[in-house]
Amino acid sequence: MLQRLCIKNGALLKSIKFTVKSIKFTVKTPAMPPRKSHQQQEQAWMKALGTMTQKRAALGSETAAEDLWDQLREALTSNNELEQQLAQKSLESCASGVKDHAVAAAKAKVKQETSTHHLMNKGVFTEET
């Protein structure tokens, strides 16, 4: 009969109106939840605030850990650079010491040869002695 009425009237809207008028029902829409009491609202707010605080603290800890990791990496890089500089300076110091020793040895040899030559000229001793 409903289909006949729709066809007869030619409009779906009229058939819906007819159906709504003839059938009694109640519709509960879930669109609006029941209003919470002030205490429930406050508890929900505190819970949300606690969750946000925990998430923010976790994020802060994570960020702090990343910052510490970056600082450690920079310190290790700096330490490696300082060790290389120290090794280079030590090497340069050793090379300088070797050069100084070689110069001192050369001077001593020249002095000895000069003294020997001088003494030989005076006849104190000969090359055979």
Q: Which residues of 97-109 are buried (b: 16+ CB within 10 A; e: fewer)?
A: eeeeeeeeeeeee
Alpha-carbon distance values, 93 to 21, 88, 122 (Å): 107, 8, 43
Model-level pTM?
0.39
State the sign of the Cα–Cα–Cα–Cα dihedral 36, 41, 43, 48.
Answer: positive
What confidence category does residue 101 fall into, taking pLDDT thresholds of 50, 70 and 90?
very high
Q: Are 9 and 15 in contact (CB under 8 A)?
A: yes
- In angstroms, the CA 123 to CA 117 distance is 10
For residue 27, give the 3-state DSSP assignment. Answer: coil
Between 103 and 116, where is the model more confident? 103
Q: What tokens appear for 126 in the block? A: 């000969």
- Summarised one tens digit per residue, pLDDT across range 42-64 is 888 899 888 988 888 888 888 88
